[in-house]
Amino acid sequence: MKTKRMKKLCSLLFPVVSVLMLLSVFPAYTGAQEDEVSNNSLVFLLSHQGYDGDEEDIINTIKYTEEAALSMLETLNLQYTRTFPLEAAENSIKIDTAKLFDPCVAAGAQYALALSTLFRDDRLFWRYDLYSLTQNDVLATDSFSVALIAGVSAPAVIDASLYRLSNSWRKSEASLRFDGIVAVSEGQKYRSYQEGMEILYGDETGKSAGKIEQGTLEGELVLFPQNREITGTAVKKGFWSQVFFLPNGVTKGEKELKSLQKYTRYSLGLNSSFRGMDNYAVDFEYRLHLAPDRFFLQADWEFWRDNSVLSGGEDALHQELRLGGGLYLQPKNTWRLRFLIGSGIALLFSDKESNFQADPIWLGLEYHFPQWAITGSLRAPAALSYERDAFDKAKLGKDDFYTSIGVMMKW
C-alpha cells in the first residue's frame, strides 16, 4: 500500500516539478533572447551640447530631432535597440568615429545612427550619420541648421533632412545585397555643352543620374560592381538618344559626352549654287521628313542670274522650282557626317522662255550639329525639252554638272 501511495505521489509531483523547472529557466532564456541582436538592429547615439536647458523652444526642437529619427527607423525596417550618450568636441557637431564604433560593436548591433546637435548664435545645427558597423563605413549622412526665432517652425526642415538621409540609406542598403559592390563618396561626373541633357544608367527606362546644368553634372550616387563596364544613355526631349559606356565603372574622372542630334521633322536651307564660271544662284529649300533624319520630301525655289558673255547668253534673271525627295544613307540617325541621295523634277522659267528638267540622281554630303548642318550637293540635271533661244544660248537646261553649298536649320 505504501509503495502504491509513493508511486501515486511521485506521479503528481513530477509534472509540478517540471513546470517549476521550466519557469525557472524561461526568464533566463528570454533574457538571452533580448540580449541577442537581430541582423537589422541599430544603436542610436546622441550628442547634444551648447544650449540653455531652460529655453523650451530649443529643448522641444532638439527632442523632435530624436523623435523624428526614431520614426524614420521604423520606415527603414531597422530595429532600434538602445541609446548611447556621446561627447562631441566643444563647439562642434562632429563625432569621433573611432570612439563611436567601439560601444556599438560591443552591443552587437549591425548599424549605428548618430545624432549630434549644437546650439550657437541663435541657430540650431544638427547632423545625422548612419553607419554600417560590419563595413566600417558611412552609408548615409545629412546635416543642416535653422534659426530658432519666434514664428519659425524647425520640424519641417528636420523632416526634409531625414528624408534625404532615408533616400541615401535605401540606395546603400540595396547595394549590400550584392557582392563586389564598391561604395564611392560621390557620383560620376559628366561634362557636355548641351544644357538639359539627362543621364540615365542602362537604357531609356534606367535610373536617372541627373541633368547637365551649366555644362556639368555630378551624377547622383548609384552603386555598381567594381571595375565593371557600365552602360548609360543620354536623352533629351526632341533629340535622338545616345548610348555611352563607362569602361571602368564609376570613377573620379570626368566623362565628356557629345551633344545629341535633333530629332528632325522639318528643315529650312539656304544654298548658293555655281552653274559654271558666270552663272550663280541662291536657293531656298524646305524639307518634310516623313521618317526623321532618314527620308524626306523636298521643295526648292532657286534664283540665278545668267551673264555668260562667252556663250552669247543674254543677261537675264531666271527662276527654278524643284520638287523631289531624298534618302540618308548613314547607318545611324545620330551620325554627324551624312551621305544622301535624291531625285526630282524642276521647272525653269524666265521672262522669255520656260523649260523642264529632271534630276534623275543628285548626291549630297552634310555635316550635322545638334540643330543645324552644313550642306553640299552635286547635281546633273537632264533637260526634258528646250527652245533654241535664251536657254540654249546660255547652255542652260542641258546635261551640265553643278554644285551647291549652304546651311540648314532643323526642328
**CATH 2.40.160.20 domain range(s) in the chain:** 266-410
Pick from 3-7, 185-189, 334-338, 382-386 the range whose average pLDDT is largest: 334-338
At 182, is the pLDDT very low, low, confident or very high (cuts 50, 70, 90)?
Answer: low
The percentage of residues in the chain with a pLDDT greater than 70, rounded to a whole number, is 69
> For 103-130, what is the mean pLDDT?
80
Lowest mean pLDDT among 42-56, 175-189, 253-267, 346-360: 175-189
Structure-model confidence comparison of residues 123 and 152, the more confident one? 123
Q: What is the pLDDT of residue 193?
A: 92
Question: What Å distances lie between residue 202 and 196, 205, 224, 299, CA to CA?
Answer: 19, 7, 12, 41
CA distance 397 to 119: 89
Which one has a higher pLDDT value, 354 or 176?
354
pLDDT of 93 reads: 60
C-alpha cell at 78: 531597422
In three-state secondary structure terms, 110 is coil
Whole-number average pLDDT of the chain = 76
pLDDT classification of 395: cutoffs 50, 70, 90: very low
207 near 200, Cβ under 8 Å? yes
Per residue in 282-311, pLDDT tens? 999 999 999 999 999 999 998 877 665 444
Q: Output the pLDDT for position 10.
A: 47
Where exactly does CATH 3.30.160.100 map onto the chain? 41-175
Q: What is the pLDDT of residue 228?
A: 77
User: In the prediction, which pLDDT does 91 show?
Assistant: 52
Q: Indicate the fold that domain 266-410 takes in CATH.
A: Porin (2.40.160)
Which of 60, 62, 80, 61 shows the shortest CA–CA distance to 70?
Answer: 80
**Number of other residues whose CB lies within 10 A of the CB of residue 18:** 10
- The DSSP output letter for 351 is S
Q: Identify which has the larger pLDDT, 207 or 409.
A: 409
pTM for this model (two decimals): 0.54
CATH T-level topology, domain 41-175: Double Stranded RNA Binding Domain (3.30.160)
Count each helix (H run) and each strand (E run) in the chain, helices first.
5, 21
Decide: helix, strand or coil at residue 18: helix
